[in-house]
């Protein structure tokens, strides 16, 4: 078992968000993902265009509820807005429930593929799809498209692969420099890389757009990009 930083340990190819990861998850994510908090800011401001009185909104893979808390706080002055956080890891959900106390926020401890999504105006997925096996990813995005109301939005942020080998080498090197600059040791970086084998499968930017298009989305735009991390908005 390798130390991957922030008191988190993981076996090769067996990364999990359980086993105590929730305790230091936010700190680990901020240090591991360029613009992690900036992405939250973009999404909360973007939500103004889709969330109104009576809206139903989902956050898929809500983890500790940090983004969901920011979203619900931003729209607390609007009537009958309901937020649902979906999280499969019970430890993450337990922490989210203790942190997010807004009465219009509820949580579902379930696999996102099995949730019965109702008509919604906004669905967010913040670095979640990359942990869903590719053979099931299209199924989930199809469900998301079908559940959105006309004019509703699906916002996803993902780690992305570069379009060719040369750019992949460049972005991989820059990402390693980013993590070293945030205090991770070389052994921790290698340990994390080994731990996410099989469990995380990033798509390229083009492949992410393709999966959105296959679901039915036609209006798609990049809203954030830094090194090998990208945010997209898709409007039904």
pTM score of the predicted model: 0.94
Give residue limits of the domains in the chain: 2-235
pLDDT at residue 162 in the model: 96
Q: What distance in Å separates the CA atoms of residue 135 and residue 79, rounded to the nearest whole number?
A: 39
Q: What distance in Å separates the CA atoms of residue 163 and residue 179, rounded to the nearest whole number?
A: 22
Q: What 3-state class would DSSP assign to 35?
A: coil
Render 87-124 in DSSP notation, one character per residue: -S-HHHHHHHHHH---TTEEEE-S-GGG--PPSEEEEE
Largest Cα–Cα distance of the chain, in whole Å?
A: 51
pLDDT reading at 6 higher than 80? no
pLDDT reading at 9 higher than 90? no
Q: Under 8 Å CB-to-CB from 45, ≥6 apart: which residues?
A: none
Pick the CATH number of 2-235 from 3.10.150.10, 3.40.50.150, 1.10.132.20, 3.30.70.890: 3.40.50.150
pLDDT at residue 134 in the model: 95
Query: Which residue, among 63, 211, 46, 214, has the nearest Cα to 126 in the 3D structure?
Result: 63
Q: Give the rounded percent of residues in the chain with a pLDDT score beyond 90.
A: 85
Query: Averaged over 208-213, what is the pLDDT?
Result: 98
What pLDDT digit, counting tens, does each position of 91-113 carry?
999 999 999 988 899 999 999 99
CA-atom Rg of the chain in angstroms: 17
pLDDT at residue 11 in the model: 78
CB atoms within 10 A of CB 24: 14
pLDDT at residue 5 in the model: 67
Q: Give the rounded percent of residues in the chain with a pLDDT score beyond 70.
A: 97
pLDDT reading at 8 higher than 80? no
């Amino acid at each position: 078992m390798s130390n991957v930083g922030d008191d988190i340990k993981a076996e090769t190819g067996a990364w999990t968000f359980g086993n105590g990861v929730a305790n230091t998850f936010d700190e680990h994510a901020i240090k591991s993902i360029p613009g992690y908090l900036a992405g939250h800011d973009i999404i909360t401001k973007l939500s103004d265009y889709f969330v109104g009185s009576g809206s139903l909104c989902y956050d898929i893979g809500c983890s500790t509820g940090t983004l969901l808390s920011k979203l619900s706080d931003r729209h607390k002055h609007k009537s009958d807005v309901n937020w649902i956080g979906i999280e499969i890891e019970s430890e993450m959900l337990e922490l989210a429930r203790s942190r997010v106390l807004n009465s219009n926020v509820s949580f579902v401890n379930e696999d996102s593929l099995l949730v019965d999504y109702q008509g919604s105006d906004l669905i967010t997925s913040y670095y979640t799809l990359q942990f869903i096996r590719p053979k099931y990813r299209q199924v989930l995005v199809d469900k998301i498209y079908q559940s959105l109301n006309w004019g509703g939005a699906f916002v996803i942020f993902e780690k992305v692969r570069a379009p060719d080998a040369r750019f992949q080498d460049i972005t991989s090197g820059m990402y390693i420099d980013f993590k070293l600059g945030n205090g991770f040791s070389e052994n921790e970086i290698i340990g994390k890389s080994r731990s996410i084998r099989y469990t995380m499968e990033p798509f390229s930017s083009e492949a992410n757009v393709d999966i959105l298009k296959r679901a039915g989305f036609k209006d798609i735009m990049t809203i954030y990009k830094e090194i090998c991390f990208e945010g997209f908005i898709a409007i039904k």
